[in-house]
Structure 1
Amino acid sequence: MFEKYTTKENFPNFLTVIRIIMIPIFLLILSVSDSLWAHVIAGIIFAVASFTDYLDGYLARKWGVVTNFGKFADPLADKMLVMSAFIMLVELGFVPGWVASLIICRELAVTGLRLLLVEQGGEVLAAAMPGKIKTFTQMFAIIFLLFHWSLLGQIFLYVALFFTLYSGYDYFKGASFLFKDTFK
């Protein structure tokens, strides 16, 4: 049944689809129980989903099987996973709403900027080191907070917030040519 999806050519996309499927499971677990065990299970699911984010991109590049579906679905799955987690962490009282709002707004703004770059025929800017640090710290903040490792989670959360905002600024600075005629 899964043979056609698990071929070398399709396996990275299969991992992306699995990550998308994990999102409602993650949300359901956090919605049905407010127990430590539900949080830990949700944290494990989030960690596995986050690992698939790394793995699908690594394998697609290594095997030379980058597809249009992957270019579209991989970043979408990442944003859906992280945004869902931050919204749930606000609901659980683990993350201030203003922090989650800034992180989500940056993610939406950069996604919009990427679409604009593609529309203008430009090349999408590759993620620089601040963006990679942003992703790493966001994911670990979420995992640590769900595991109730509050101090470590809060440290990673505010480091993630800094790198989220800085990498967003860096991304817009790199694409500032798109807006040169905006405020004449």
Structure 2
Amino acid sequence: MNLPNKLTVLRIFLIPVFMLIIIFGGNAHVEVGSFTVYWNLVFAAIVFAIASITDWFDGRIARGRHLITNFGKFADPLADKMLTMTAFIFLVSLKLAPAWVVAIIVCRELAVTGLRLILAENKGQVLAAKMPGKIKTTCQMFSIIFLLIGNFFYIGTILLYLALIFTIYSGWDYFHQSWGVFKGSM
């Protein structure tokens, strides 16, 4: 297994660590002005940030060293979705993110993943990530981190709604650009 794939697997293994820190981390906190910072959520944010950084590194290494594999094409986006969806579900349960926003994000992720599978299976095409999708992922990851560490000055909330806008736009863009190929398989 090459280094990018090892980083992807590491990201998947960090998901339960992230979850356990939130579930069993306790309620120790500190007041910072008008904000309350819970230590378990700070540690969870650190684990989430480390997992998110592996996404950047595995893609950069895979492309730079020509180590792109079928496993990586499948597992890398799956690991990203598993990580962000898990975090968003926990944010809703902690009342740190509105459920309707997270529902739209999760539905888009599932729809685009389904589109990718249909295109790959029926047409042999790989639906590559485009800039709006990359911006969406970046906004999602930073919003999760800021929401977990205390949402200082509403940075996490602002990033969450920015992520929502890019989530909707990039989802529409993927379906719009694939419509001709997709329409032929109906």
Kindly provide the CA deviation profile for residues 47-93 of structure 1, in whole angstroms up to 9, marking residues without a partner as x: 00000001001101111111111111111110000000000000000
Please, what TM-score do these two structures have when normalized by structure 2?
A: 0.90
* Alpha-carbon distance between aligned partners in 1 of 2:59 and 2:130, rounded to the nearest angstrom: 15
4+ residue runs over 4 A deviation: none
Aligned to 2:5: 13
* Alpha-carbon distance between aligned partners in 1 of 2:124 and 2:164, rounded to the nearest angstrom: 28
| Residue 172 (structure 1) aligned with residue 164 (structure 2) | no
Kindly provide the CA deviation profile for residues 122-164 of structure 1, in whole angstroms up to 9, marking residues without a partner as x: 4223222111110110000000001112400000000000000
Kindly provide the CA deviation profile for residues 5-60 of structure 1, in whole angstroms up to 9, marking residues without a partner as x: 5xxxx111111111000000000111113441000000000000000001001101
Residue 180 (structure 1) shift: 5.6
Residue 121 (structure 1) shift: 2.1
More strand by share: 2
Question: 2:19 is aligned with what amino acid?
Answer: L
Aligned partner of 1:22 among 14, 25, 45: 14
8 Å contact from structure 2 (residues 122, 185) kept in 1: no
| % same residue | 57
Aligned to 1:68: 70
Aligned partner of 1:163 among 140, 163, 166: 166
Please list every run of 5 or more consecutive structure 2 residues that lacks an aligned counterpart in the other structure: 29-37
Aligned to 2:50: 48
**May I ask how many residue pairs the two structures share in their alignment?**
174
**Cα root mean square deviation, aligned:** 1.3
Question: 2:59 is aligned with what amino acid?
Answer: G
* Of 143-152 and 88-97, the range deviating more from structure 2: 143-152
